[in-house]
Amino acid sequence: QYEPLLAEKDQTRVEIGDDDDSPLPDDLTRDSLELPELSEPELARHYTRLSQMIYGIDSGPYPLGSCTMKYNPKFTEDVAALPSAAVHPDRSERSTQGSLELMYRLQDYLGRIGGMDAVTLQPPAGAAGEFVGIRVAAAYHEHNGEGHRDEVIIPDSAHGTNFATAALGGYDVVSLPSDEDGRVDLEALEAALSENTAALMLTNPNTLGLFERDITEIAEMVHDVGGLLYYDGANLNALLGRARPGDMGFDVMHYNVHKTFATPHGGGGPGAGPVGVVSELAPFLPSPRVRESEDGASEPSYELFEPDHTIGKVHGFQGNWLVLVKTFAYIARLGDAGLADASAKAVLNANYLASQIGYDVPYEPFHHEFVASAGEQDAADVAKRMLDYGVHPPTTKWPEIVPEALMTEPTEVESKATLDRLAAAFNAVADEADGALEAAPNRTTARRIDQTSAARNPRLSWHALEDE
């Protein structure tokens, strides 16, 4: 069952420089390179075996709250694999009209979906999208002579990336507590806002799945002190076709394409985190963006352009292009009705699942996700034990407002039969003793893994193992 490392199967050292056929003098080359040298069948078996030790969305439900793991329609892989999608970033605009058109139309789609006036596709992931948002906000304030604004307000239940991004952008983070209903505490917000406020970063529905009902008021409050309102798109899938960040008063937002539009997560990327802004912020977006060109040809043609006060780039070129192709294809397939249907099913599925499990769900009415409490049980242990029932567990121990949180998001793709299977797993674990939970998992490739040992004695390459 255990699969040896490639290096445990073979290590071949190639000496360089001492043979006749090196085209370079020795002082410009390395001495040798030692890596595994294996045949195609050996490699096929290696990676096939490794793949079989992975739980993917095609293995079963994956109800990671906030992370949002949806089934990825297979056809989007086919369009991203088209040879015509593989072009060099430095190709001329006239020879890449296809790529430009797709980007133009995707910018347009996303603008409509978010209610935003302008969109950049450049950020290669959600966190990079946040960074663009923060940099755009900074540039906007700077441009308006408000460079003194040095605070970003973030609810305490927000994603870690919000905090890290604000810090990377050079901002001081002002943490905002939730009220007893699990939403933004307006009084606390009032107290936090000041002439130093650059922005408030918000997710809506929030990480408890609750809609921030006071969003219009919140927007007014932030705008009144001259701040900007940032929308973290992690939960946009709950609102597709039913409400738009732009209509709620948000000035800038990012889209998580894997969460909202079902591009595959790839075990940790590549993602894409396009950013939409209201028109006042459009001049600050990263460069280049795509627009229709006015060359008067019969077919519309497209060109790259640099926004007037652009912040420049946050990626070498245009981010994760192949992911953008999949995103476009996904949206074009679903259309208005399909998008609205996705949010309907996502919300129905979350509510149905919550109704079927024994764990307490303290906050409601939730939308696409809910946070149950494991109560006396350790949420992390609950997760490990759920693995034994052949399903993936929810996100655990977060947000901290719910003790021993089980943050659960089944998404719209699951059938009732699968939800029932998932509920059965929750309920089986709920009835078990701590001992059973602590001993879990038992039916997985690896049993419970010692995290402390990994961190205390870091072995980060096969070279490090050789010394043992």
**Does residue 82 bind another protein (CB under 8 A)?**
yes
| Residue closer to another protein, measured from CB, 270 or 375 | 270
**Three-state DSSP state, 401:** coil
**Does residue 367 bind another protein (CB under 8 A)?**
yes
Residue 203 CA: distances (Å) to CA of 66, 189, 245, 347: 10, 15, 10, 16
215 binds, among another protein, its own copies, none (CB under 5 to 8 A by kind): another protein
Q: How far is CA 121 from the centre of its chain?
A: 14
Q: How far is CA 436 from the centre of its chain?
A: 33
**Does residue 358 bind another protein (CB under 8 A)?**
no
Pick the binder of another protein from 304, 332, 424, 428 (CB under 8 A).
332
Pick the binder of its own copies from 6, 57, 344, 380 (CB under 8 A).
57
Give me the amino acid identity at 415: S
**Does residue 30 bind its own copies (CB under 8 A)?**
no
> Smallest Cα–Cα separation from 211: which of 184, 185, 249, 192?
184
Contact 326, 266 (CB under 8 A): no
**Three-state DSSP state, 363:** coil
**Does residue 304 bind another protein (CB under 8 A)?**
no
**Does residue 71 bind its own copies (CB under 8 A)?**
yes
Pick the binder of its own copies from 356, 418, 427, 444 (CB under 8 A).
418
**Does residue 22 bind another protein (CB under 8 A)?**
yes
Pick the binder of another protein from 179, 213, 360, 434 (CB under 8 A).
213
* Distance separating alpha carbons of residues 423 and 400, to the nearest angstrom: 23
Q: Which residue has the tokens 């308006």?
A: 144
The region of 67-75, 276-284, 399-407, 425-433 touching another protein under the rule CB under 8 A is: 67-75
Residue 28 CA: distances (Å) to CA of 12, 18, 50, 254: 22, 13, 38, 45
Contact 33, 16 (CB under 8 A): yes
Contact 422, 63 (CB under 8 A): yes
| Residue list 448-467, contact with another protein (CB under 8 A) | 448-451, 453-455, 458-465
Pick the binder of its own copies from 22, 59, 216, 453 (CB under 8 A).
59
| Residue list 92-121, contact with another protein (CB under 8 A) | 92, 94-99, 101-102, 105, 109, 112-113, 115
The region of 36-44, 219-227, 284-292, 392-400 touching its own copies under the rule CB under 8 A is: 36-44
Token pair for residue 36?
């595994």
| Residue closer to its own copies, measured from CB, 39 or 457 | 39
